[in-house]
Amino acid sequence: MNKLTVVWWELLCAVSVFNVLAWAATSALAHRKSLTLHPLARQSMRLQMLLSAGYVLGCAYRSAFPVYDVGRLVLVDTWLSSVVVGRSVATVAELCFAAQWATLMRSIAQANDHRLGLAVARLVMPMIIVAELCSWHAVLTTSNLGHVFEESLWGLCAGALVSSLVLVWPRCSREQRPAMAAAVAIGVAYVVYMFRVDVPMYWTRWLAETQQHRVPLTLAQGLIDASARWTVTHRWSDWQSEVVWMSLYFSVAVWLSIGLVHISGRLAPSFAAPRPRLPRTARFQENSR
């Protein structure tokens, strides 16, 4: 077994253990804080915790059983590493992550009577469901074009959320703005990464496939192939192209999921009820203070 590959895998597993412990500590803090909140705010915070648990545990599973989906490459020779199982776990985890953002955006928009923010919050899950279908198409057919569409949808969704947060900013109180600023900064960094690194990577892979005249599998062929075929490899050269995104995905993205619980806690007082809609003149005076 290649030493570099082993060290990388061990780091992924170690980070996953840390992430689970961090989620447990966050859960304890959130539970204590929720006892002092309005019932609606408490419900929102608990939903964030449950959704974050789905993402944290899903990423921990995938760290223990890494899979290069399109190439059908695995580190551990077990059915738990099969592409179908790993992709199913990833789908649930990613839907939980998307739901966290949708929940946060909906709460902020409702509290500040922002219709565009509510519309964006409602669009998040449909967009990500389509992204997941594109991912499954790529995984089953072994064509990276599906991943290009998938990652583009994730990036566009994040961009819409960031834009909505910026537009709702003038209506938020000064106490809410630090948490809002953190969410915007994280969102901008994510969008930049997706369109500067992730999407171009899959686009390059798809171009290479077309130049090699590779014929994609049908969905039926792909389902059988992804369920029954996996190649165990520990060569660094086989995993090197996956190291960057997997390392960031199973660490930074998980920390972001846990961080959303803390952000929702900072914004929780505003979740209790929508602010009354003021006349235009009164809103201008309030925002200028």
At 83-98, the pLDDT tens digits run 999 999 999 999 999 9
Q: Alpha-carbon distance 183 to 153, whole Å?
A: 19
Q: Supply the pLDDT for residue 272.
A: 52
Report d(CA 35, CA 33) in Å as an integer. Answer: 5
Q: Do residues 219 and 137 touch, judged by C-beta distance below 8 A?
A: yes
Query: Average pLDDT for consecutive 10-residue bins of the chain (289 residues)?
Result: 90 97 92 73 84 97 95 94 95 96 88 88 96 96 96 96 91 81 88 93 94 93 94 94 92 92 70 52 49
Domains of the chain by residue range: 3-273
d(CA 258, CA 263): 9
Q: What is the mean pLDDT of the chain?
A: 88
| Eight-state DSSP code of residue 37 | S
Token couple for 13: 């597993």
The sheet carrying 67-68 orders its strands as 67-68, 73-74, 231-232
Asked if 271 and 38 count as a contact pair (C-beta separation under 8 A), the reply is yes
Predicted local confidence at residue 279, as pLDDT: 55
Tell me what pLDDT residue 2 has: 83
pLDDT value of position 174: 81
Q: Kindly give the pairing relationship between strand 73-74 and strand 67-68.
A: antiparallel
Q: What pLDDT shows up at residue 154?
A: 96
Q: CA 168 to CA 270: how far, in whole Å?
A: 13
Q: How far is CA 10 from CA 51, 57, 151, in A?
A: 26, 17, 27
What is the amino acid identity at position 181? Answer: A
Taking only the tens place, the pLDDT of each residue in 209-228 is 999 988 999 999 999 999 99
Phi, psi of 174 (to 5 degrees): -65, -30
The C-alpha angle 175, 96, 73, rounded to 5 degrees, equals 130
Asked if 256 and 101 touch (Cβ cutoff 8 Å), the reply is no
Instruction: Tell me how crowded residue 71 is: count the other CB atoms within 10 A of its CB.
Output: 16
Q: For residue 113, which amino acid is it?
A: D
Q: What is the topology classification, in CATH, of domain 3-273?
A: Rhopdopsin 7-helix transmembrane proteins (1.20.1070)
Q: Smallest Cα–Cα separation from 222: which of 67, 68, 66, 72?
A: 72
Mention every residue, 6+ apart, whose C-beta is less than 8 A from residue 233.
Answer: 73, 74, 75, 239
DSSP state of 214: P
